[in-house]
Amino acid sequence: ARATEDARAGARATTSGRAGAPTFKDNKGDKVTSTPKAEASSRDADSAVGDKVPPVVDVFTGEPKVGEVLTPLPTVAELLELEELSSLELNSSSVMDPEVLEDERTSKRQTRYGAAILKDPSDPYYALLKEFSDVVSDDPPSVLPPDRGVRHEIDLVPGTKYCTTRQWPLPKEQVDVIDAFFAAKHAAGMVRESKSPHSSPTFCVRKPNGKWRMVHAFNKLNAATIPASTPIPRKDVQNNMAGCTIFSALDMVDGYYQLLMRESDIPLTAVSTPSGMLWEWLVMPQGL
């Protein structure tokens, strides 16, 4: 029995801590001790690693440069002793300087609408917009636009016959909206009753503001139209604005309805309604 206990006590001798430094567990006080010789050799090894700094070598001759050595990398212990940075300090590089923020605030673009400026006589642009108040309005045009020398044209592919799509039924709410819409456009002279052999259906889609948007399914007519080969130069316009500081945007209310149709193309714009009416547009309808 005594021999067995001695064997177990001997088996509890382990190696831990520094590499090559044996430690022993004392049965009396359960203390872990290491030999002084092992600790000394471990310290010498660390010192040797720290003192061994590679020199700087000349890339042409391959010889070490006298008096020049590489900066030694920090030890793990030194890295662990570094002061921890807060999340605010870590993100400080992404925070603008207060002076930069102040400049950004003072140079921030101000967007104003012409109709709103007309309500403020103290605005510096009030007199200018007052002079052109007939073109600065929140209300859509209620009359036929004048002939400005530019009309919308529809050029059909040669051999095209009739572009006709049957009107499908719609909920009564949409039918009432469509009838009221065409009644207003007819009073403004923008549409007239039609006997055209062409016909495209009408329906409504809900706008983000809750109102209805009138839509004509001109799918067949658009498919039979010769496409324009002149794209809108949007990228060129942006490039030409380089270096500018003041920008203006013109948003025409019901812009489609402010452009007259070419007289010979008016029958092509004929649209049907769920109530059985057939209208044709004297101005450019939305959907072409």
Instruction: Rank 1-15, 66-80, 130-144, 258-272 by mean pLDDT and report only the highest.
Output: 258-272
Residue 23 has pLDDT above 60, yes or no: no
Residue 224 token pair: 């039979």
Cα 125 versus chain centre, distance: 33
Instruction: Please compute the mean of the pLDDT values over residues 120-133 and round it to a whole number.
Output: 86
Predicted local distance difference test score (pLDDT) of residue 9: 47
Q: What is the pLDDT of residues 179-217, one digit of tens each?
A: 999 999 999 999 999 999 999 999 999 988 888 999 999
d(CA 184, CA 180): 6
Q: What is the CA radius of gyration of the chain?
A: 42
d(CA 43, CA 124): 81
Residue 52 token pair: 């061994």
Q: Which fold has domain 149-226+248-288?
A: HIV Type 1 Reverse Transcriptase; Chain A, domain 1 (3.10.10)
- Length of the chain equals 288
Q: What is the pLDDT of residues 227-281, one digit of tens each?
A: 888 767 677 888 888 888 888 877 777 888 989 999 999 999 999 999 999 999 9
Residue 27 token pair: 């049965």
Q: What is the pLDDT of residues 165-175, one digit of tens each?
A: 999 999 999 99
Among 145, 156, 155, residue whose Cα is nearest residue 188:
145
* End-to-end CA separation in angstroms for the chain: 104
Residue-range domain boundaries for the chain: 2-42, 112-141, 149-226+248-288
